[in-house]
A and B are shown apart, each in its own frame.
Chain A
């Protein structure tokens, strides 16, 4: 079965600094990968997704992620963080022809002024 690991429980960055959130997955074949963001009191919102093709995918709000098969990783990046990016970020994986979307434990992002 597929699984997701987000090694960083909490990250603090200064506003304007760059950001990288780590995600490692475990799956026997090529997975479908997602990043979701959850703000307090809000539902999960999709930032971006990877299915195939270009391994660098662009998402909303200036986020991007890179799929690296050799490292089983799908790290999320943003070149310049804004205070409104403070939230919980979840990486998720779905196996091909599988309806069970598995989430990591999440990384909480704090943005310092």
Chain B
């Protein structure tokens, strides 16, 4: 399968713990996005990478959140000192670089539950 893959698919953690999610985009895509989706809502933009450069961050991304894409391939999203409000589905998407009008290809998401 050459789609966007995310790991883990589900994560249950206790409040205050750190969690990390991984995203492997489609190999020829150098645009990579992270979104957060809560129940009954559409995906909310968190951050965007062009290759290894993090070009945009939403104000939703508090200082407890950090994302990296060290070699321009896979990306990680880390949440430190998790809070119950962090419970959500975290979606990764990738897209071709030619223009921002290209479609995004989404992974199946990583569901986080903070107890």
Question: Which A residues form the contact surface with B (CB < 8 A)?
Answer: 4, 6, 9, 32, 34, 36, 41-46, 49, 51, 90, 92, 94, 96-106
9 A-B pairs within 8 Å (CB atoms) are namely A4-B42, A36-B106, A44-B91, A90-B43, A97-B100, A98-B100, A99-B55, A100-B58, A106-B41
CB of A100 within 8 A of CB of B42, answer: no
Give the nearest-CB partner of B100 in chain A. Answer: A99
Tally of B interface residues using CB under 8 Å: 27
> How far, in Å, is A46 (CB) from chain B's closest CB?
5
Q: Which of B24-46 contact A (CB under 8 A)?
A: 31, 33, 35, 40-45
The answer to whether A100 and B101 have CB atoms under 8 Å apart is no
Chain B residues near A32 (CB-CB < 8 A): 100-101
**C-alpha gap A9/B39 in the complex (Å):** 12
Please tell me if the beta carbons of A104 and B101 are within 8 angstroms of each other in the complex: no
Given A43-B4, A94-B101, A99-B31: A105 touches B43 (CB 8 Å cut-off): no
